[in-house]
Structure 1
Amino acid sequence: MAGPTTAERGERQQESSGPPLIRRLRRPRLRTIVILVPVVVLLGAATLWVLYGSPWTRVERVSVSGTRVLTPAQVRVAADVPVGDPLVSVDTGAIAQRLRRRLPRVATVDVTRSWPHGIDVNVVERTAVMVEEKGGKFVEVDAGGVRFATVAQAPKGVPVLELSLSRSASAAASLRRFGESRLVREAVRVASDLPGAVARQARTVKVRTYDDISLELTGGRTVSWGSGEQGRDKARALTALMKAAPQARHFDVSVPTAPASSGS
């Protein structure tokens, strides 16, 4: 009687060796899983306790940087950081929102965690490019036209904004079309485009209509600027005009391609 073929012998060998091999592989894996599961659970619980329950990662200090006019103490009070709470649970976004809401002088703010005990607050304050006089005080206006603070004295080197909106038909039409806020932004735009030497001499920016903005400089000199458009061209024309006619009292750059000066 013929013996088993090679294929049959191979099948029998696999059948006889398969189950013990699988058992040998499964036993270490099961033991590893049984050991690792409680370890992972313990590590997770320990991590949560360190972050939320231990005294090692709680807020103990609030550092403030970037202030110029504001004081660090003012920023800390407005930030209202929950000192003593777990650092991981502090809502940095909410702190930033409180600062922007309570301190309009703050333009931007960055709030970060400083492990293991700190909150770092870095603020950038708004800079006044002009002021409005109201009731004997001065309202500071930044480069975006935002009125952000009222001070007793105007900052040095910052021109005063005058909204001289007359009752003429053109002034009324300009006010209806653009609104006061837009006219203020146009005045800010003009102040921002002034050449450095002229900006230091600017005392007043007068706005009558959108297209009628003028400047009063030191020494009684005046500049007709027109609208806030073509600001760079007007700045270059004014610089050249003031060099060519240093004794002039009035400069007109409302049409920058045809500047003019008068008076002496």
Structure 2
Amino acid sequence: MIGWPTRRRSRLLLGTLMVVAAGVGLVLIAYLTPLMSVRSTDIRESGSVPTDEILRAAAVPHGTPLLQVDTKAVAQRIATIPTVESVRVQRAYPSTLRITVTERVPTVIVKSGDEVHVLDRSGVSFLHYDKTQGVPPEVLKLPVLETPNPGPADPTTREAITAVAGLPDPLREQVIRVSARSPVDITFILTENRRVIWGDADRGADKARTLTYLLRREAKEYNVTSPEFPSYK
């Protein structure tokens, strides 16, 4: 005769197996059927990147079960769009694919012969123009970076761009050119041919405040490498 403890264990085992089977069944339903499939795509923070371009790059047909969507592969495809800095792709149940896009921020330009290259805040060159065919006016308003080896792996480039990107808008709008011979030798050329010896990218906020005050004085050169002891002439 089967004892009560044995029967209880059997019932528990059967109950557990039924729960597991139900869970597996639900997963199979979600994976193999359109019950929880992509019916909408929520694109966030795309900015100037056209939604249609993001959807084409994502290449996820409506009706694809969410569990079958390889979110990493989708993100990698969208990241090939030149103006996209980073992408996050998430499943939002029951039927939405959520795509969050962070765009590259145009920070400086580099001129090379007839070519104009736009660099983002990391020093990545992501837009290219031929001066003989025309360059958008908003691009030409960006500061021109002059440095021996511009690029994201170059410490001088990174420091110079960090210095420019950290400027408050009223100051950044006055910067025409950025000359950087080393990470600690950054110089800005402002409108009216005014020269600012900046030094490195450290203490950018302090230097910006000091420069804002100094620019009230008429001069051709301002030195804010040490914001506590600035000079002008």
Question: Which residue of 214, 219, 233 corresponds with 1:248?
Answer: 219
Q: Does 1:61 align with 2:44?
A: no
Partner letter of residue 107 of structure 2? Answer: V
Which structure 2 residues correspond to residues 1-264 of structure 1 after superposition, within 5 A? 23=3, 25=4, 29=8, 32=11, 36=15, 39-40=18-19, 43-44=22-23, 46-81=25-60, 83-100=62-79, 102-151=80-129, 152-153=135-136, 154-155=138-139, 158-163=142-147, 165=148, 181-243=154-216, 245=217, 247-262=218-233
Change (3 A) 1:48 1:143: closer
Distance 1:45 1:227 in 2: 59
Identity within the alignment, %: 30
Instruction: Report deviation, 1:256.
Output: 3.5
Task: Output the aligned Cα RMSD.
Answer: 3.2
Distance change (3 Å), C-alpha of 1:43 and 1:129: same
Gaps of 5+ in 1: 1-18, 166-174
State how far apart, in whole Å, the 2-side matches of 1:215 and 1:61 are. Answer: 48
Distance 1:249 1:33, change over 3 A: closer
**TM-score, normalised on structure 1?**
0.70
8 Å Cα contact 2:38/2:62 also seen in 1: yes
Question: Per the alignment, do residues 204 and 44 of structure 1 end up closer, same or farther by CA in structure 2, a change over 3 Å counting?
Answer: same
Output the CA distance in 1 between the equivalents of 2:7 and 2:113. 85
Separation (CA, whole Å) in 2 of partners of 1:213 and 1:92 = 42
Aligned to 1:7: none
Contact 2:107 2:161 in 1 (8 A): yes
Distance 1:180 1:91 in 2: 31
State the shift of 1:27 in Å.
8.1
The corresponding residue for 1:5 is: none
> Greater helix percent: which structure?
1
* More divergent stretch after superposition (151-160 vs 35-44): 35-44
Give distance in 2, aligned partners of 1:158 and 1:260. 27
